Every structure is written in structure tokens, then in C-alpha cells.
Structure 1
Amino acid sequence: MFSWLFSGGAQYDATQIEFEEPFVQHPESAPGILLRIRPFKENQGVVDGAGLLQSVHDVTTNFRGKNMSNHHTFEVWFDEGKIKFYMHAATEAAADKFRRRVGNNYANSEVFPVEGGHAFPVIEPHEYVAGAWLEMEKIPYYPIRHHNSEGFETDPYGEITSEMLSLDESKVVTQVVFRPAKQSWTDGDQFKHNSVDDLAHALRQGTSVGWLNPRTRPASEKDKQAARTIEQQRGEQAFHVNIRIVAISADKDEAEARARGVAGMFRKYYNAITEQGLDDMPVYHRKQGKRASQLRQHVTRMADREWTDRRMIMTVDELAGVAHIPNNEIETPNIDWRYTQRGDRVPADAVQYERHTTSDGPQKRQAGQGGQDGV
């Protein structure tokens, strides 16, 4: 998994992954339910994304208290020359909830199951593939930048989606896999290190510096601010997270450039207070055969919406920043927007934090081309 470390640094080396026939994932053979979202331009972007994630934070545990919650995904595709948005639900019940919740939080957006076409972009045997994971640079309790911490001058999806634009025949996918964390996630047990309170206390005590003559440097104002930011997470809802990227093109250089460029845009989430950010880890091996095998596994995991424990956890606000439906603040061309409004009633199960008055969900229609592990 980490063989790129021995190559002298992060490398993107697009490779043909030796499919004898086109790699095709049909909706009927894919696990779970894939939902296509056609967003209405006028929404609150990241803020509405936080409301949506809060509304689907349903933790399931077994009799021993082990987290058995299903995982779901939020995905952005560049496919067939357009930027498209998807959510993948593990079950029919979750898909029904997502349809209603997206309608509640993103007024006038259209949500429908992908019943025809493909559940993942098609990969032709002659095409090159480059991919990456995103990791947190420090331990998970140090939050990344989000709309309630440092904030964003502009929606980071503007630059991410712009970087995804490619040749019409090329494809790019960003996939955020998320599963709800237990309320005890800040206690420190699951990552084998101290709780948020312990980390905040340690920051206030200062930092040990020096090797031959060690001494304690008093806590700076930045240390104290980071301590406050970290301990404020206690009681917050959070999700375990995977973030994966893949770029596919008949042009080797284009596949590498898109994977590298999109991964680089996620550096916009760097939090200067906590010095926490997202770092890209390309799928790489110095031997071409093994590299092709690893990229094939990467693609299969993405198409199957597989969960892998990457020891990454985010609060609702953090996750909303990396998994939300954008609005007209972003100026990326070729986005599959919905342009008409709809005026509907509020669903019977709408709750206080939902902001909009919309329907129980859009009509189900035939889609065109486009589409646990406990901790």
C-alpha cells in the first residue's frame, strides 16, 4: 500500500491496468443504490451540506457496542464532458432517506436513482489510469479547515471541479466514503492515543524542544487557540472517512495531470491554526506490473464503494467541506445544473435543522448514461 515511500516521494505514473474488455459497472450489478443529483444553483453550498450530513448521521452498534453502521459515498464525476454529482446509499432505506434529505437541504435539486447506463465511468483497455488516496497529515483530532474554522474565501469546489475538467473522452472521479462515528469518538480509544481533552491540555502545557539540553517552550497563543479548537469537538457528530481519486484517459500525461491536480486542490483544506491538512498518497509501485495491479484494485474498490479503515475521522462541518453540493458561487463550466424550480410541501419527517421547504423527493425516472467493517 505504501510502496511509493520507497520511490523517493509521491509519484503519479498513469498505467494501463490490463483489462481485456472494457471495465463496466452496471447499476443492477453494483452493491447498494446510486443516486444522481442535479443541483439547483441557488443553495447555501457547504452550509446546506452540513445540514444534510447531520440528518443522515445514524449510528448502529451491536450488543457489544461495536460500530456496525453502513457506509455511503458522495461522488463528483467528470464523465462525458460534464461535471456530475452522485450519492451512493448502502440500502434502499438509506437511498430513500437521502432522496428526501437532499430535497430538504438543497431546494429545487433533482435526485433520482441511476437505473440505466453505468454506475461508474467506463474504462477502456487502452486507457491509462492514475489514482490516489487522501490522508490527514496529523492525527484525526486536529481538524482541517472548514466553514466554521477559518472559513473559505470561496468554495474550494470551484478549484477542485475546474481541475477535474479534461478531454471529453477522459474521466475523473473524486469519491468520499463516510460512515457515522459513535458519540465516544473523541475519547481516544479507537486511535490508540489520548482524548481531545488530553491533547488540548498538552498543548496548553507548552512544547518540549531541544535534544541535548531539552526544555519546555511555553505555550504560544497559537497553541492555546489550537487547544480550544480541538476540545470544541467534544460532543460533535463525526464520520469515519475515506477519500479517493481516479483519473482515466487515453492520454497518459493527461491522466497523471488530472489526478495530481485534483489531489493538490484538496490542500485548500489546510487549517493554519491546528496545522492539519490533507496529503495525497498516489497509488504507485516502481514495477509496472504491480502498479497496474494496485491501480486495478483501487478502481475496483471505488466502483464497489468499498470501505477501508484509513484512520481518518471528520466532524460534520469538516466533512461538509469535502462532500457537498456547490452553488452558483463556483464558475466551473460544464456542470450538470438543474435550471427549473419546484414548489412543493415539506416532508412529514422534516426536523428543525432542515432549512428548506421541499418535497418528499423527486419522481423516480430512468437515468441516462452516467451513470463494514466496524471500528
Structure 2
Amino acid sequence: MSKLSQILFGSPQYDATQLQIDDPFVQRPESAPGTLLRIRPFKENQGVVDGAGLLQSVHDVTTNLRGKNTSDHHSFEVWFDEGKIKFYMHAATEAAADKFRRRVGNNYANSDVFPVEDSPAFPVINPEEYVAGAWLKMEKIPYYPIRHYNSQEFEADPYGEITSEMLSLDDSKVVTQIIFRPAKQSWTSGDRFKHNSVDDLAHALRQGTSVGWLNPRTRPASQKDKQAAKTIEQQRGQQAFHVNIRILAVSSDKEEAEARAHGVAGMFRKFYNGITEQGLDDTPVWHRTEDKRARKLQDHVTRMADREWIDCRMIMTVDELAGVAHIPNEDIETPNIDWRHTQRGDRIPADTGNYDRPTDDGPSTDYNPEDRGNNGL
């Protein structure tokens, strides 16, 4: 944003605002699109490695007769709600929900996976609470990969810091939502109207960089340019997903909502790839006037609760997305995670129709099952 724009319109910032609602916002399972699955993971798992296996198993691309990608979109979500860190997957259809339940069970052994039926399908937001939000995007075009566990290994699971930053007051809520939609195998071939192919980009990097204006010249490719070219070429042939990433924080304390939204978004900067200089950049949901800011935040909340897909031209390979969207293991030290602490002695086969539900999972105190009116927006 230019300095003139900043003076006239202000710079986007985390400015929590109350929604323009008179009743609590409640997304009920029966009125929500698709099926929301709650996951209570067993602490002993392989974290991001198991996450990559899960994503590979659900990479099902469908196309129409013209070859257009018509695949459904789904989501992986982490909530801080009712004082706990909880994990969810949202499936667009019942068939996808059944597949996810089986695949999660296969990749994360001893975990509980069950549909959300008796509690809200999104954290409840009360009229007096303040809301702050953001969405994330890649800083460069898709072929420049972000950091992932097979490129520049993390010293520790980034979800340790992400979930720690999500911890808040017991009556606050924080949601990290990653919506994903499988990309066609030809995603690296480029689009003549938007960007070149991976081969074109890698070739250009090896040719050096044009510098200077009055006396232009070509700077020879550096070792870093050559490394980036090799990394970009390795994207070819890999399975990938189109991705949306949204963040929401809700609290009775205005500053707490702002701090949590800003802090969690900032943790995603850990995925910056120093070789390709690609990272995730956060944009707060904001407007300089309070009335329009409240309306923008209402739209943000509704999109998240409805698991709405928006094409923001962000693509991640399985390895990249697994780092951003996975169930962590006991290596992270975040307290208040809703783990399953015991192994199954009589494990129910993953393809049966029975579900195990935690005994302590009841409806939110803000949720009245008899209230069948609108959701407050």
C-alpha cells in the first residue's frame, strides 16, 4: 500500500470489533453444509508424516467433460474453545466424511473420530464479544514452495507454537481453518494468462536476473538462484491442493482478541522458505470505519462457519500442506490439548458405522438446542 493510500485509508491492522448481532451466532450441525468430524488424537503418532499420508489418501480430483476441476473442498480446523485445543475435519459430503473417518483412523491409530451432532458446528459468538480475523496468502506465485518437512526440516513441530499462541482466556475462542481442494495433476503446467510453468520459471532463474534501467545488464545466476530453480522443478508431478487459510479470534476482551489473531497469524511465518524466499503473509480483516469493519468481520465469520471456498490462487503440494494442516503428537508441550490418552484394547474396525464419543463433550452453555431460529447474522 502506498503512503498516500495509508494516509487516506489507513493500513490494515488487527482491530477487534463487536458484530452487529442481537442474538448469539450459532452454526448448528443440521443447518451447516457438509459434515463436521471431531478428532481426539492419540498422543503417540508421527505428526506431519501421518498428515502427509492422510492428505495423499484423500487427493481425489474430479473433472467435468471440459476438463474443469469440479472437486469438492474440505477443511482441517484447530479450535481453542471451552478452554481446550480441539481438532476437526469438515467434509463436503457424507461419503467424504465416511472416507475421512476411515483414513484418519488408518493414519492416526487409536484416535477417536466422530461426527459433531449435539454441539455447535462452529464456536458460538455472543453479541458482547469482540472479533478479530485474518486470512493468509503466499507472498509469491504458487510454484515457489514454502518451508516443509522434506525441504528445510523444522527443529520442532511448528504446531507447538501455533497451538500455544491459540491458548487464551477460558471463555475466548480461536479458530485456525485450512480449506483444501485437490488440484489437477497438470497444476505445474502454467497458465498463459496468469503465470508460467515450473520449467519456465526454473529456466529463467538459471539464466540470471536483469538489473539496471538506463544500462540494463544480466546478473549471472547465484548459487541460491540455482538452488531455487532445482526446488521449483521438484514440484513437477507432485500431488497438490488449492488452499484457503483463515484465522478468527473471539473474546470479551478486545485486546485479547486482537493479540490472539495477530499472534496466531504471525506463527505461520515459520513456514518461510529461505531458498525460494516464499512464505505466508497475513492480511487482517479490517476497515477504517467501525461499521464497515463489523460487516467485513461478519462476512469473515460466515465464510468460516459455512466453510466457503474462495479461489485465491494459492497451491500447496502434499508436503507443504501437511506442515500447515496436521495433527501434532506428544512432542509439542502445549497444555489443554484434547488428547485421547489410551490405546484401544478392542479397537473398532475403521470401516464400521460405530463412533466413540468422549463423555465430556456436551453442548456449549451458550447453545440452546430448542432455539431453532436464525443464527444471529
Note whether the superposition's TM-score is higher than 0.5: yes
Q: Secondary structure at the match of 2:56?
A: helix
CA contact (8 A) 1:112 1:362 kept: no
Partner residue, 1:350: none
Counterpart residue type for residue 251 of structure 2: S
In 1, Cα distance between the equivalents of 2:39 and 2:193? Answer: 34
Q: Secondary structure at the match of 1:239?
A: strand
Partner residue, 1:287: 289
Query: Is 2:300 aligned against 1:309?
Result: no
In 2, Cα distance between the equivalents of 1:346 and 1:196? Answer: 45
CA contact (8 A) 1:164 1:258 kept: yes
Match of 2:224 among 218, 222, 225: 222
Q: Secondary structure at the match of 1:120?
A: coil
Partner residue, 2:173: 171
In 2, Cα distance between the equivalents of 1:185 and 1:198? Answer: 14
TM-superposed CA distance for 1:221, in Å, is 0.7
CA contact (8 A) 1:103 1:360 kept: no
CA contact (8 A) 1:111 1:362 kept: no
Give per-residue Cα distances to partners, 1:315-359, cap 9 Å, x unaligned: 000000000000011000000000110256897xxxxxxxxxxx3
CA contact (8 A) 1:99 1:361 kept: no
Counterpart residue type for residue 332 of structure 1: T
Question: Which ranges in structure 2 are unaligned for 5 or more consecutive residues?
Answer: 368-377
TM-superposed CA distance for 1:261, in Å, is 0.2
**Correspondence list, 1:114-125, <5 A:** 114-125=116-127
In 1, Cα distance between the equivalents of 2:176 and 2:363? Answer: 18
Partner residue, 2:142: 140
Counterpart residue type for residue 43 of structure 2: K
**Correspondence list, 1:50-89, <5 A:** 50-89=52-91
**Correspondence list, 1:25-104, <5 A:** 25-104=27-106
In 2, Cα distance between the equivalents of 1:178 and 1:83? Answer: 21
**Correspondence list, 1:208-357, <5 A:** 208-342=210-344
In 1, Cα distance between the equivalents of 2:363 and 2:137? Answer: 32
Counterpart residue type for residue 51 of structure 1: G
Q: Secondary structure at the match of 2:273?
A: coil
Q: Secondary structure at the match of 1:198?
A: helix
Counterpart residue type for residue 115 of structure 1: E
TM-superposed CA distance for 1:18, in Å, is 1.1
Q: Secondary structure at the match of 2:124?
A: strand
C-alpha distance 149-369 of structure 1, shift in aligned 2 (>3 A): farther
Query: Is 2:128 aligned against 1:126?
Result: yes
In 2, Cα distance between the equivalents of 1:291 and 1:310? Answer: 21
CA contact (8 A) 1:239 1:316 kept: yes
Q: Secondary structure at the match of 1:115?
A: coil
TM-superposed CA distance for 1:363, in Å, is 3.0
C-alpha distance 116-13 of structure 1, shift in aligned 2 (>3 A): same
Counterpart residue type for residue 211 of structure 1: W
Match of 1:203 among 198, 202, 205: 205
Q: Secondary structure at the match of 1:24?
A: coil
Counterpart residue type for residue 112 of structure 1: F
Q: Secondary structure at the match of 1:268?
A: helix
In 2, Cα distance between the equivalents of 1:118 and 1:346? Answer: 26
In 2, Cα distance between the equivalents of 1:78 and 1:317? Answer: 25
CA contact (8 A) 2:16 2:131 kept: yes
TM-superposed CA distance for 1:368, in Å, is 2.8
In 1, Cα distance between the equivalents of 2:251 and 2:348? Answer: 43
CA contact (8 A) 1:137 1:276 kept: yes
Partner residue, 2:370: none
Partner residue, 1:369: 363
In 1, Cα distance between the equivalents of 2:49 and 2:67? Answer: 31
Match of 1:110 among 104, 109, 112: 112
Counterpart residue type for residue 284 of structure 1: W
Q: Secondary structure at the match of 1:123?
A: coil
Give per-residue Cα distances to partners, 1:205-225, cap 9 Å, x unaligned: 001111221111100111001
Give per-residue Cα distances to partners, 1:294-335, cap 9 Å, x unaligned: 000000000000001111000000000000000011000000
TM-superposed CA distance for 1:122, in Å, is 0.3
CA contact (8 A) 1:103 1:361 kept: no
TM-superposed CA distance for 1:362, in Å, is 7.9
Per the normalisation by structure 1, the TM-score is 0.92
TM-superposed CA distance for 1:189, in Å, is 1.8
CA contact (8 A) 2:207 2:220 kept: yes
Computed over aligned residues only, the root mean square deviation of the Cα atoms, in angstroms, reads 1.7
C-alpha distance 368-295 of structure 1, shift in aligned 2 (>3 A): same
In 1, Cα distance between the equivalents of 2:207 and 2:160? Answer: 40
Per the normalisation by structure 2, the TM-score is 0.92
In 2, Cα distance between the equivalents of 1:143 and 1:344? Answer: 42
Give per-residue Cα distances to partners, 1:209-248, cap 9 Å, x unaligned: 1122111110011100100000111000000000000000
In 2, Cα distance between the equivalents of 1:361 and 1:98? Answer: 13
Q: Percent identity?
A: 81
CA contact (8 A) 1:76 1:173 kept: yes
Q: Secondary structure at the match of 1:149?
A: coil
